[in-house]
């Protein structure tokens, strides 16, 4: 069922519009966003769809195809953090933060559908926030810039839901362009589009959902964040972004803090290195992807050994993908579960899938899920008459 059909079935009548917001993968720069560093995400073709219509009165009604409960009713007046829990806290938080920022949110009915796998480290939560934010502001005719909307959606997650995430995921969902990765400087919030079209160069991007569920609210993510802040405090700098020389990390006497800082400094540099490679590709384009792949694998080892956020299924996936001919592979997102991104020569997509599937079967793990990842469009409104039901296993949301 599409979100527009769900809307009709649950609320009666047609929605005023349907808004899509994509999940994201991150090419490079992990756990760098909340350290004021660089990130290089791209939008996925998988989206959250929000079919929405204005209603009279200051209430939101929310339902989701992935949450087969009755619609959740939320009063906008008197809304405060802690009042709404579970999945509805994300859209409710967006409404609350919009009002905190001085925007009057209209009463609305919203039906949600998704083809972004939840708990796979692909930012389904940020996509839900961004789809809601765009729907509510466009329904109300409010002019809010995309960077401001990303900041509002992030605050919804930090302050209303209570997850201390950075700005990468919401920025990716709202700012990315097809065929590009987004270089975001998380200190200045300046961004630029970096051409990134592996398919045109005979390479492929494979996302492998390891099915180990990832949850940012379990405490480990917040602990890493606190460790980075402590490292910066001990070094007497505002954030780890201020370190550009790996040798400076050695001034930290605590071995754990030293490892955390080393990852952040090295990953910031890797973002700039990947941008350099993409911006002036070598004449033999395969060499460019070979070099990017090497950086991906280095980043994985850094996340595994220095930042200690990898998990067994991710390590086995990276190992099997490399053995089967991938240019490189790494875990993406916050860690402790979720997905791996592999950069592969186009002809090796099949062998890499087979090798990873085999590695999982050998260990009696639940079979992984494979998704093709193509750098796609940011959040946008879709014309209702163009909305089509996506066949199962396809790559754009049933809007
Ligand atoms: C999660 C957070 C992001 C970012 C990544 C790690 O996806 O939501 O802000 O910190 O983890 O890079």
**CA–CA dist 123, 134 (Å, integer):** 16
Mark 210-243 as b/e (b = at least 16 C-beta within 10 Å): bbbebebeeeebeebbebbebbbeebeeebbbbb
Say yes or no: 229 and 187 in one domain.
no
Residue 179 lies in a domain: yes
Pocket of ligand 1 (CB under 6 A): 30-31, 33-34, 123, 165-166, 168-169, 216, 333-334
Residue 389 lies in a domain: no
pLDDT at 387 over 70: no
Per-residue pLDDT tens digits for 174-192: 999 999 999 999 999 999 9
**CA–CA dist 399, 73 (Å, integer):** 22
The ligand 1 atom nearest the CA atom of 221: 11
The ligand 1 atom nearest the CA atom of 334: 11
pLDDT at 30 over 80: yes
**CA–CA dist 162, 177 (Å, integer):** 29
Residue 33 lies in a domain: yes
Q: Atom 1 of ligand 1 has which residue's CA nearest to it?
A: 334
Q: Are 298 and 269 within 8 A, CB to CB?
A: no
pLDDT band at 372 (very low <50, low <70, confident <90, very high): confident
pLDDT at 388 over 60: no
- Count CA atoms closer than 13 A to 143's CA, side-chain side: 0
Residue 146 lies in a domain: yes
Say yes or no: 186 and 244 in one domain.
no
CATH classification of the domain holding 248: 3.30.70.890
Q: DSSP 3-state assignment of 278?
A: helix
- Count CA atoms closer than 13 A to 134's CA, side-chain side: 28
Per-residue pLDDT tens digits for 43-66: 999 999 999 999 999 999 999 999
pLDDT at 245 over 80: yes
Residue 398 lies in a domain: no
The chain-wide mean pLDDT, for the chain, equals 93
Say yes or no: 130 and 204 in one domain.
no
Domain of 163, in residue numbers: 2-191+376-382
The ligand 1 atom nearest the CA atom of 125: 8
Say yes or no: 278 and 346 in one domain.
yes
**CA–CA dist 96, 321 (Å, integer):** 44
Q: DSSP 3-state assignment of 380?
A: strand
Give pLDDT, residue 280.
87
pLDDT band at 394 (very low <50, low <70, confident <90, very high): very low
Whether 169 is catalytic is yes
Distances (CA, A) of 251 to 18, 138, 227, 230, 368: 53, 50, 15, 13, 41
Mutation probe of ligand 1 site: the residue of 123, 150, 166 with most atoms within 8 A of C-beta: 166
pLDDT at 71 over 90: no
Stretch among 215-219, 233-237, 325-329 having the lowest mean pLDDT: 215-219
Length of the chain in terms of residues written: 399
Q: What is the pTM of this model?
A: 0.94
Say yes or no: 162 and 142 in one domain.
yes
């Amino acid at each position: 069922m599409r979100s527009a059909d769900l809307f009709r079935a649950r609320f009666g009548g047609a929605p005023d519009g349907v808004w899509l917001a994509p999940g994201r993968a991150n090419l490079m720069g992990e756990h760098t966003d909340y350290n004021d560093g660089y990130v290089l995400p791209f939008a996925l073709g998988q989206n959250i769809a929000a079919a929405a219509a204005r209603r009279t009165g200051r209430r939101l009604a929310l339902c989701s195809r992935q949450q087969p409960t009755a619609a959740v009713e939320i009063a906008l007046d008197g809304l405060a953090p802690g009042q709404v829990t579970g999945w509805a806290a994300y859209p409710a938080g967006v409404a609350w933060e919009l009002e905190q920022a001085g925007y009057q949110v209209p009463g609305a009915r919203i039906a949600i559908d998704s083809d972004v796998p939840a708990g796979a480290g692909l930012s389904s939560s940020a996509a839900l926030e961004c789809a809601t934010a765009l729907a509510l502001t466009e329904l109300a005719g409010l002019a809010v810039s995309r960077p401001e909307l990303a900041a509002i959606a992030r605050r919804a997650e930090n302050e209303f839901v209570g997850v201390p995430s950075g700005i990468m995921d919401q920025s990716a969902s709202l700012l990315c362009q097809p065929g590009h990765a987004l270089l975001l400087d998380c200190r200045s919030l300046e961004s630029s589009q970096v051409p990134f079209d592996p398919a045109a160069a005979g390479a492929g991007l494979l996302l492998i959902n390891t099915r180990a569920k990832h949850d940012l609210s379990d405490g480990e993510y917040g602990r890493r964040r606190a460790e980075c802040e402590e490292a910066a405090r001990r070094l007497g700098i505002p954030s780890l972004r201020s370190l550009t020389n790996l040798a400076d990390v050695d001034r930290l006497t605590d071995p754990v803090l030293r490892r955390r800082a080393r990852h952040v400094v090295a990953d910031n540099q890797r973002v700039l290195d990947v941008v350099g490679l993409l911006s002036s590709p070598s004449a033999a384009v395969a060499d460019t992807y070979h070099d990017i792949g090497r950086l991906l694998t280095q980043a994985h080892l850094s996340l595994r050994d220095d930042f200690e956020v990898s998990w067994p299924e991710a390590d086995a996936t990276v190992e099997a993908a490399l053995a089967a001919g991938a240019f490189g592979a790494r875990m993406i997102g916050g860690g402790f579960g979720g997905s791996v991104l592999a950069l592969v020569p186009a002809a090796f997509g099949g062998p890499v899938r087979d090798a990873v599937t085999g590695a999982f079967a050998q260990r009696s793990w639940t079979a992984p899920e494979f998704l093709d990842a193509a750098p796609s469009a940011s959040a946008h409104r879709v014309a209702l008459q163009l909305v089509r039901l996506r066949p199962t296993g396809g790559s754009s949301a049933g809007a």
